[in-house]
Chain A
Amino acid sequence: MMLGPIGFTAPWLLLALAALPILWILLRAVPPAPIRRRFPGVALLLGLKDDDSVTDRTPWWLLLLRMLAVAAIIVGLAGPVLNPEPETEGETATGPLLLVLDASWAAARDWPAQEALVESMLAEAGREARPVAILRLADPEPPVFRAADSWRSRLAGLAPAPWAASPATMAEVSEILGDVRFETRWFSDGLARDGRASLLEALEARGPVTVYESPAPVLALAPATVTGGAVALTARRAQAGTPREITIEAHGRDPSGTPRLLATHRLQFEPDATEATGELALPAELRGRLTRFEIAGQAHAGAVTLTDDSLRRREVALIAGREDREGLELLSPLHYLEQALQPSADILDGALIDILPANPDVIVLADVATLSGAEQAALLDWTEKGGLLLRFAGPRLAASDVSRSEEAPLMPVRLRAGGRTVGGAMSWGEPKSLAPFPEGSPFFGLELYDDVTVSAQVMAQPDPTLASRVIAQLSDGTPLVTRKQIGAGQVVLFHVTANAEWSTLPLSGLFVQMLERLAVSSAVAMPDLSEMQGTTWQPVKVLDGFGQLRDAGTLPGVDGEALITDGLGPEMPPGLYEGPDRRLALNVIRPDTILTPTAWPARIPVRGLARPAEAPLGGWLLAAALLMLMADILASLALSGRLFPARAALVALLALGLPQGADAQTEDKALRAASEVVLAHVLTGDPRLDEMAHAGLRGLSETLYFRTSVEPAEPIGVDLEEDELAVYPLLYWPVTPEQPIPSAEAYVKLNEYLRTGGMILFDTRDANVAGFGASSPNGQKLQRLARPLDIPPLEPVPEDHVLTRTFYLLQDFPGRHSGREVWVEAAPADAEQVEGMPFRNLNDNVTPVVIGGNDWAAAWAMDEMGNPMYPVGRGYAGERQREIAYRFGVNLVMHVLTGNYKSDQVHVPALLDRLGQ
């Protein structure tokens, strides 16, 4: 039964309200019980009659109070519930339930809400014993109806994918639905897609369908492009309507390689526009370090756009031989290069030695024959590290002895003396034209122009390696462009001049295209299909549904053509792909992606994700009834003269006075911590969590006390804002999404603490379900908490980390969960394992942070009697896990207190002995 937003579980009890008037009359008729009093003056009272008009009945307000109390009890027992879960009527309310999740990138933003809603539905289905199946459209599997509880444990693994279901997938889903009747609840991401309608029909054929979707429009960020000198940013949204301002964050690396927020930019959506554009002007140097743009606060893959080489303006250093023909600009060896590169690259001018430290991407040597020894060595070094050296021939090169008798290190081929001239006034034949580019050449697929002729060139000496180094040749088969790999870089030689003296190549558009293909300039964003044929692209970084960049790990490579033609999917997640000579970003949002909101048919009920929580009111009403009865007692006492004001005031005073006198111990907190070893935990503001952390550290302290010579005192909760941190060797910091971010002063203290040898153990307590630092609310909170901290690079605990042997020999670090990865400060890059030694010589100090999600405090927690407070695992295995958790704690404290003592190679023989080797 429903009364507005309130429903009743036992509405028939409300009939008892009808009895209230009778109770009124009864109560009214019965006067309060008399008190017996000794009173000598009674002799004077004898014979006095009570006045009838003032007969002492219960006063009306007291009656009303009692009536209200009784009514509250009746209503409370009738089980009122605010915003009760609507029960679906009909036969399917007990039948199987199918939860369809779009699970696309657009759903990632509302994932926590969706997850909570799904969880509550699963709980509800579990109560009603309905079999449930969950179908993720992004990654469909045939629905299997199972008990709801078995789904609840898998819920955390159903994270949204960084792509969306294609029409084909949806058609496929319609096929695998089977022919059972079920009720469907569809969690939509709010974006229209082809294929939705047909799938909806298929679902409706099997039972009622309800759609749940968030009314907030999806925001997405289109790939950034370069226009002029600035980066053009375009944000789109699914629905126009209200003006809205969003912040775009540009992330990248700082000069030392640490990821940082480089810039922010605000975009304004006009009320009736679904697109907002803006230009972000960044210095070229900064632009080169960009890795991605994202819309602040939108944690989904569509709000992230990765940048690849296309955003970078390449730095090209142009160096010519002696420029002694001043004034003849069109004859300058660099003129055409400058014209070709100006729009898309930054051109550096200067002496070679001065330019090299700036580490340009490309160095062009136009008709430079000889290099000094120092220049040559530096240039070679630069090339080996990935530089592209582009050389052009010319009279000076042709006249020199460079690479004559043997191949010079910075020349791709040996040259014959003198070169040749064709089609000139003094020579035979006609100027030569270009031959089609061979397959495998970077120029393969470029269209040839007839008017490109070559009248003079330097000739390559025939060598066994020559054929493999030619990437462009003339129609008579003589090499025009040759290339040689040097280390990670390459040197490319154009056998003609960079000006129009020897050929018309620099005058044609082909020249620019060739430069582009060589990645000298990179004005083109996406390679075209012909260029991609036969290439394989290896993912380097991939995006997950929440827009987090992760290492691609062992994901297989992707065919180059597929990269352009196919949509995103499990085989090809969005991310950064590395090809033969460049990197390509594959984003969720393409430049032409349009976001359209869903339009469900009117017959489908659409609900929001945030339905108001079911609030049972019975308890409150009963409590209110109890309070009213208390008030009734006081009032009755007062009425019958048994309540003495002085006494009542005394009681009230006592009650007020009780909670005082509790705030005297903050003073000696630091003193206590300084005089003994004390483990400390950061107060998060969540009393239950703080209590758990406290109990956990107490359990660990007990364990340490019994097993080691460390004898800690009772642990202390630390308020980061107020307390002195230096006196605590270890801070245990459980992470909740709700806890406040500490102030700047607190961070100063924390950094000081970390720098002076303190350690913080961060515990996200979510078993790293979604991977380190990723999408779980705790993980995100951890990132925000730890951002201002001065934390060195981290790595998962290596097998030979000192933590694995400070007291016990351990390889796992379980807590209440047994998640795999625990992160500590990374080993120095030059740490090498010596033959015969079981471990490397690692860090010389204590790792400042240990990050994990195994909920250690819960595993450690002991009550006052020393009994464990939270269950760990099941049976003996669980007890074993708890034991290992204690051992981890012991090792951790030992590590904090003794540093790298156990890292000393002195212990090797003993350790080897214990390891049984």
Chain B
Amino acid sequence: MSLAAPLRARAEREAARLPPLLARAEHLAGTVLLGEHGRRRPGLGDDFWQYRPVQAGDERRFIDWRRSARSDMEFVRQREWQIAQSVVIWVDNAASMRFASDKGLVEKSDRARLLALAVAILLNRAGERVGLAGAELAPRRGEAQMMRLAEALTTESDEDYGRPASSGMVAHGRALFVSDFLGDIGAARTALTSAADRGVQGVLLQVLDPAEEAFPYRGRTIFESVGGTLAHETLKASELRERYLARLADRKAELKALCATTGWQYGLHHTGDSAQSALLWLFRAFDGGPAR
């Protein structure tokens, strides 16, 4: 009984965070959704897409006689592709994401959740099923799923650096990984290759703080990871800058190469930039699919 009160309080606090995140994500999604309906390709669905001349191999029952009767050719009526795909999202919730170099900036984890949830909302509206990687939440449709997603996204991990989870992927589904990818790249490699093995394609979004990109530090400094497990002391931080930036560039190049080999798309977002442009890019990346 004694635990009930703190538990309740924490639950309330966590719950209070949900609607705003959801609302913000909805709001963000709403700005993007305009004019981006449909998949704009023929497929299974309810909406009319186009008439096209019958080609060899088309079954007779697909011919639309009413349309064919108005001309000398036979036409097949196609519907817009409305097949539901499963999209699995992984958002890094490790300690390294809870970092903002300046008061005016949001934490990386905050931006990552927002973008992920907004994409989930967009995909949900487009009729896709959205779930979380790691078998925490299987892909489903519907508003309730959004609530569950939002709730699941707010959990936090004590680990210093997150490891992408490849479990829970639906074969030939799609995936979205959002992280800073500053930890061990082996985990990302493993996750991506295993996903590619199962025909899953997707988008890899690296979220970085501007300070991580610029390294504006000088003087004698002890750098600590946010979780506190890693530390590095230097006598002259400014001297490290070049080499740090080189390593960061290497890391990005590595990720890009990884994406290229596995057919994923690589995106880079800074918390100093607007979330909307990132969302737009994400949406297009999903919309275009691997073919583009």
Chain A residues with a Cβ under 8 A of chain B: 31-46, 48, 50-51, 54-56, 639-642
Contacts and interface: CB of A to CB of B under 8 A. Distances in A.
B264 interface: no
A45 B219 CA distance: 15
B217 A56 contact: no
B99 interface: yes
B239 A640 contact: no
B128 interface: no
B236 A54 contact: yes
A35 B222 contact: yes
Contact of B96 (A33, A35, A40): A40
11 contacts: A34-B222, A36-B224, A37-B221, A38-B99, A38-B224, A40-B96, A43-B230, A48-B232, A50-B236, A55-B235, A56-B219
A32 B219 contact: yes
Which 6 residue pairs are nearest across A and B when measured between Cβ atoms?
A: A640-B219, A40-B96, A641-B218, A56-B235, A56-B236, A34-B220
A634 to B, nearest CB: 14
Interface string B210-242: 011001011111111110001111111101100
Interface stretch (B38-46, B69-77, B244-252): B244-252
A45 B232 contact: yes
Contact of B235 (A31, A40, A641): A31
Contacts of B161: 43
Contacts of B180: 40
A40 B217 CA distance: 13
B243 interface: yes
Nearest to A47: B232
A564 B212 CA distance: 106
Contacts of B247: 44-45
B235 A38 contact: no
Nearest to A636: B219
Given A50-B234, A54-B239, 9 more contacts: A31-B220, A39-B217, A40-B108, A40-B226, A41-B223, A43-B225, A44-B182, A50-B236, A642-B219
B209 A40 contact: yes
Nearest to A52: B235
A48 B244 contact: yes
A43 B182 contact: yes
A465 to B, nearest CB: 119
A39 B219 contact: no
Interface-centre pick from A38, A40, A54, A640 (highest chain B CB count, 10 A): A40
Contacts of A642: 219
Nearest to B209: A40
A51 B235 CA distance: 9
B220 A51 contact: no
A43 B248 CA distance: 10
A308 B233 CA distance: 100
Please classify how large the interface on chain B is, using the bins under 10, 10 to 19, 20 to 34, 35 or more.
35 or more
A35 B221 CA distance: 5
A43 B244 CA distance: 10
Nearest to B99: A40
Contact of B219 (A42, A54, A55, A641): A641
B134 interface: no
Contacts of A39: 99, 211-212, 217, 223-225
Nearest to B212: A41
Contact of A640 (B218, B231, B233, B240): B218
B127 interface: no
B244 A44 contact: yes
A30 to B, nearest CB: 11
Given A31-B235, A37-B223, A56-B236, A44 B217 contact: no
Contacts of B251: 44
B272 interface: no
A38 B221 CA distance: 10
A32 B182 contact: no
A39 B212 CA distance: 8
A41 B224 CA distance: 9
B152 to A, nearest CB: 23
Contacts of B232: 42, 45-46, 48
Nearest to A34: B220
Contacts of A55: 235-236
B289 interface: no
Interface-centre pick from B161, B223, B226, B251 (highest chain A CB count, 10 A): B223
Interface-centre pick from A34, A43, A55 (highest chain B CB count, 10 A): A43
B183 interface: yes
A640 B235 CA distance: 10
Interface in B62-105: 96-97, 99
A641 B239 contact: no
Contacts of A36: 221-222, 224
Contacts of A41: 182, 212, 215, 223, 244, 248
Contact of A48 (B96, B217, B224, B234): B234
A639 B226 contact: no
A369 to B, nearest CB: 121
Contacts of B215: 41
Contact of B222 (A37, A48, A51): A37
A48 B240 contact: yes
Nearest to A43: B182
B99 A33 contact: no
Contacts of A640: 218-220
Given A31-B235, A40-B182, A40-B209, A45 B220 contact: no
Contacts of A33: 220
A32 B220 contact: yes
Interface-centre pick from A33, A44, A46, A642 (highest chain B CB count, 10 A): A44
A640 B234 CA distance: 12
A42 B225 contact: yes
Nearest to A637: B219
B132 to A, nearest CB: 23
A856 B87 CA distance: 93
Contacts of A50: 234-236, 239-240
A386 B23 CA distance: 116
A55 to B, nearest CB: 5
Contacts of A32: 219-220
Contacts of A44: 182, 244, 247-248, 251
A54 B218 CA distance: 13
Nearest to B247: A44
A639 B218 contact: yes
B240 A37 contact: no
Interface-centre pick from B211, B221, B251 (highest chain A CB count, 10 A): B221
Contacts of A639: 218-219
Given A45-B240, A48-B240, A639-B218, A34 B233 contact: yes
Contacts of B237: 641
B221 A641 contact: yes
Nearest to A39: B223
B238 to A, nearest CB: 8
B211 to A, nearest CB: 8
Given A38-B226, A48-B234, A43 B183 contact: yes
A46 B226 CA distance: 15
A40 B159 CA distance: 12
A45 to B, nearest CB: 5
A427 to B, nearest CB: 136
A425 B99 CA distance: 149
Nearest to B184: A43
Nearest to A55: B235
Given A50-B239, A56-B235, A37 B224 contact: yes
A46 B232 CA distance: 6
B99 A35 contact: no
Contacts of B108: 40
A46 B240 CA distance: 11
Contacts of A46: 230, 232
B98 to A, nearest CB: 9
A34 B221 contact: yes
Nearest to B94: A40
A239 B239 CA distance: 76
A555 B264 CA distance: 122
A41 B237 CA distance: 13
A45 B223 contact: yes
